[in-house]
Structure 1
Amino acid sequence: MPPQSPSAAARDEPVIRDRGDACPGALRLHAADDGFLARVRIPAGMLDGHAAHLLADAADRLGDGHIDLTSRGNAQLRGLGASCGGELQAVLVRAGLLPAPTHERVRNIVASPLTGLDRRALPDVAPWVAELDRLLCASEPAAGLSGRFLFALDDGRGDVTSLAADVNLVARDADRALLWTGDPADAVLVAATDGPRAALTAAAQFLDAVREAGTRAWRVAELPPEHVPDSAGLVARLAASGIEAVVVRGFASPRSHAPEPGVVEGPDGTAALSVLAPLGRLTTVQWRRLAGVTGRLRLTPWRGIVVPGLAAHAAERALADLADAGLVTTPDDPWRSVSACTGRPGCAKSLADVRADARTVAAHATGPLPVHWSGCERRCGHPRGTAWVDVVATGAGYDLGAAGGSPRRGVQTSELPAALVDARRTTSHDAAKK
């Protein structure tokens, strides 16, 4: 059974951190086996063409010619040299991706990728993204958040609230928003215009709780139960900041999934494209192709890319061009639901080249549920908010089965296609029964 994360484990005892958060950033590079790694925070994954092209230039000139997408809609450059930090920083400043160097690792904001783009007529939360990022970067205390602390801004469809964020802000309607930290059943209602400021107030409440608990927790879920921020305390804090709020008991957040690959029909003859990068990795040629469609990108927490701003009549042709570039453009593509950690040779802890093994069997092991390949028991980048098939490299092959269940152990590479087909169908059946 996979080790439980702090968010999943019963918090009978507090999670006590004996060191600071070492999460990589754009300025704090991580030393990997294939060179240094930079993680560039891109709030809600919203990127313009100018910044996208500068990132591609940096990947070609300073890195390995690829851009990786993370499970929070950020971008990573790998294969960087040890002395490239200053040059990379200059590129990011020109791209507008480093507005506050002291806060660059805490700009962890995800938002509903299709907000304002499809025909569901839900409130557009994109303006929240820019405002929250501005407030976050201007707040001196916010620099004390860990690089893992996450804000989720949901337009009401329930997609990014499934990602176990620390602060959730959800549009209730055009004028009101719900805010919570631990449990949506303990949410507070605020005016939509106050949403970003209220979200930052909730983060400040968490930081005070960490100091009171003395545990150096990185996430809300790591706090001992008696120190988890409550809605009554949050309402009082908001009132002190001039924000009117009331407690809303018993709210159950809706749940929806990642955008399917294909054309997204929008209002008034507009369209967007939704595509995925196989295993979350793009060549700079693919990246530039995406950036050149409309000059706007939204990277998603599911390692996908949404391209907004097309005329509806041009969408199918543009989608076909992206398919020719090797991107996933249809829901039935074998790569639609396959993800993997870095694996060998990039990660010293990995016990296998999981990406190579995934490529070998992906077309022969399709099924209704996602499958995630991990090079070790840490399971970096595994899916959130859904059932999934767990494939973990060991010294004796792969352990394979439903995440959290009893795995089939020691599966050899030659046995993987049949074993994966069986696991994806069995796990889907078990999930349906629940």
Structure 2
Amino acid sequence: MLAAMSSAALRSSRQAIAVPRDRGDACPGSLRLHAADDGALARIRIPGGVLTVRQAEALVDAAERLGDGDLHLTSRGNVQIRGLDGGCGGELAGLLDAAGLLPSPAHERVRNIVASPLSGLDGRGLLDVRPWLTALDAALCASERAQALSGRFLFALDDGRGDVAGLRADVTVRATADGGAQLALGTSDQAVSVSSENAAGAALVAAEAFLEAARARVWRVDELSLPHDEFREMVGDRLAAAGIAHQRHYKESVPTDGPPPGAIGDSLSVYVPLGRLSAHQWRELTHIASDELRLTPWRGVVLPTPATPAKEALDRLAATGLVTAPASPWLRVGACIGRPGCAKSRADVRSDAAETLGAIGPHGLPLYWSGCERRCGRPRGDRIDVVADPDGGYRLSTVVGGQEPRTTSLDNLSRLATALAAITT
């Protein structure tokens, strides 16, 4: 599945690459709309991907009333509403606030937290990360300094299974077998160990230390000019000042995939093709859910203890076009928004990806379709990039850590299977 895209080769842990920014962070949010070719776009942060049924119903109502009617899942378990009128910001904010989705207007773009979606549900994690999630979100919203974080800064809370620990977050907290927690910083192997009780507080301390170190207006930990070991020492000093006991540690790195589609214990998991949910699909999910939905960073949805028997629920969800079986080729296909949503796109990449789905086998590298060379939203792991070219065709390139790319051209969609074979065999 797309989770396999997270295993790209990492930078050296000794020295990060400084990427100074010459403009402010323009990342969209709930209150800062982004102008796209199909209208304005709002990105609603959903910490841990956790939504009550009432909140989910409020989102689809907002999408139908103000947007194009669909809900778009992001690779951080957030939700985007597209096709908005640029003047609807106040009404949208009111709807979100009434549903409890806007606890702090000053922090709404920095509440980027992913969490193991099956935590506490399937018995595989070392602990349930929900207390960490609640505590970290509250601490973020209470921190005046945290308002300065970029909308791209990411926290990950991993229950020990290694799923979100592989997502290259800026601050990762992972449960450890001794009952404690490991605090990792960016993609470095530098980490510290803290108690489970101090995990959320330590994550916030690390984020505030990043703000102090980010003097060149960088947005991510891996962009700092400081060597990773120096930044770890800086975080350690801030933890000590905050009274949080810690020890030096090297990061455990055994990433695993996200939840596969189907029944998982008493829960259900589905995958959303290209991350786009119609109002009908979204409402079917809310009708089947008992009390909450968990959006995953792999553009899926987990329904803990659904109110409908598993087989009936999966059949109903499959009938709407959602993926409920792990053999679906949709698990290996991703795409940018393409036309008509993006003026820079040279093709309707989503339609082309859907049209060629039959050429995708059950195994091999995943494909990511892009309308131009920017390849917005592309995953970081091994894959095949399918990029629209100016002549109306596509250019296919392998992206595999440690290997030179292999490329070929595709001028007819019906020949995709042949093109894939040419660069992968």
TM-score of the pair, normalised by structure 2? 0.92
Deviation at 1:102, TM superposition (A): 0.7
SS at match of 1:44: helix
Mapped to 2, the partners of 1:244 and 1:28 lie a distance apart of: 38
1:136 paired to 2:150: no
After superposition, residues 25-40 of structure 1 pair within 5 angstroms as: 25-40=29-44
Give the one of 385, 389, 396 matched to 1:394. 389
Do the aligned residues in 1 keep the contact of 2:10 with 2:187 (CA within 8 Å)? Answer: no
Do the aligned residues in 2 keep the contact of 1:209 with 1:227 (CA within 8 Å)? Answer: no
Q: 1:10 to 1:394 in 2, by over 3 A?
A: farther
Count of residues paired in the alignment:
412
Gaps of at least 5 residues in structure 1 are 266-270, 427-434
Mapped to 1, the partners of 2:263 and 2:94 lie a distance apart of: 36
1:104 paired to 2:108: yes
Do the aligned residues in 1 keep the contact of 2:184 with 2:251 (CA within 8 Å)? Answer: no
How big is each residue's C-alpha offset from its partner over 1:155-192, in whole Å with a ceiling of 9 and x where there is no partner? 11111111110001000137300002135532111110
SS at match of 2:214: helix
Do the aligned residues in 1 keep the contact of 2:271 with 2:324 (CA within 8 Å)? Answer: yes
Which range moved further: 410-419 or 160-169? 410-419
1:357 paired to 2:352: yes
Q: 1:85 to 1:201 in 2, by over 3 A?
A: same
Give the one of 292, 295, 302 matched to 2:298. 302
Q: What is the root-mean-square deviation of aligned Cα atoms in Å?
A: 2.3
Identity %: 52
The corresponding residue for 1:268 is none
Mapped to 2, the partners of 1:195 and 1:12 lie a distance apart of: 24
The corresponding residue for 1:290 is 285
After superposition, residues 342-421 of structure 1 pair within 5 angstroms as: 342-368=337-363, 369-384=365-380, 386-396=381-391, 397-403=393-399, 405-419=404-418, 421=420
Amino acid at match of 1:234: V
Do the aligned residues in 2 keep the contact of 1:186 with 1:230 (CA within 8 Å)? Answer: no
The corresponding residue for 2:207 is 203
Amino acid at match of 1:56: V
Do the aligned residues in 2 keep the contact of 1:151 with 1:166 (CA within 8 Å)? Answer: yes
Mapped to 1, the partners of 2:287 and 2:338 lie a distance apart of: 31
Which range moved further: 24-33 or 363-372? 363-372
How big is each residue's C-alpha offset from its partner over 1:299-349, in whole Å with a ceiling of 9 and x where there is no partner? 1111111111237x9222211111111100001112122111100000111
How big is each residue's C-alpha offset from its partner over 1:251-286, in whole Å with a ceiling of 9 and x where there is no partner? 432210111111001xxxxx1111011111000110
Amino acid at match of 2:267: A
Gaps of at least 5 residues in structure 2 are 1-7
TM-score of the pair, normalised by structure 1? 0.90
Amino acid at match of 1:201: V
The corresponding residue for 2:254 is 254
Give the one of 43, 46, 66 matched to 2:47. 43
After superposition, residues 172-211 of structure 1 pair within 5 angstroms as: 172-173=176-177, 175-183=179-187, 185-211=189-215
Which range moved further: 333-342 or 85-94? 333-342
Deviation at 1:224, TM superposition (A): 1.6
Deviation at 1:128, TM superposition (A): 0.8
Do the aligned residues in 2 keep the contact of 1:172 with 1:178 (CA within 8 Å)? Answer: yes
By relative contact order (CA 8 Å, sep 6+), the higher-ranking structure is 2
Mapped to 1, the partners of 2:68 and 2:54 lie a distance apart of: 20
Mapped to 2, the partners of 1:23 and 1:5 lie a distance apart of: 26
Mapped to 1, the partners of 2:85 and 2:124 lie a distance apart of: 46
SS at match of 1:119: coil
Mapped to 1, the partners of 2:52 and 2:175 lie a distance apart of: 25
1:119 paired to 2:123: yes
Mapped to 2, the partners of 1:8 and 1:33 lie a distance apart of: 39
The corresponding residue for 2:4 is none
Mapped to 1, the partners of 2:39 and 2:223 lie a distance apart of: 32
Q: 1:7 to 1:297 in 2, by over 3 A?
A: farther
Deviation at 1:18, TM superposition (A): 0.5
1:328 paired to 2:332: no
Give the one of 68, 71, 83 matched to 1:67. 71
Mapped to 1, the partners of 2:45 and 2:33 lie a distance apart of: 13
1:163 paired to 2:164: no
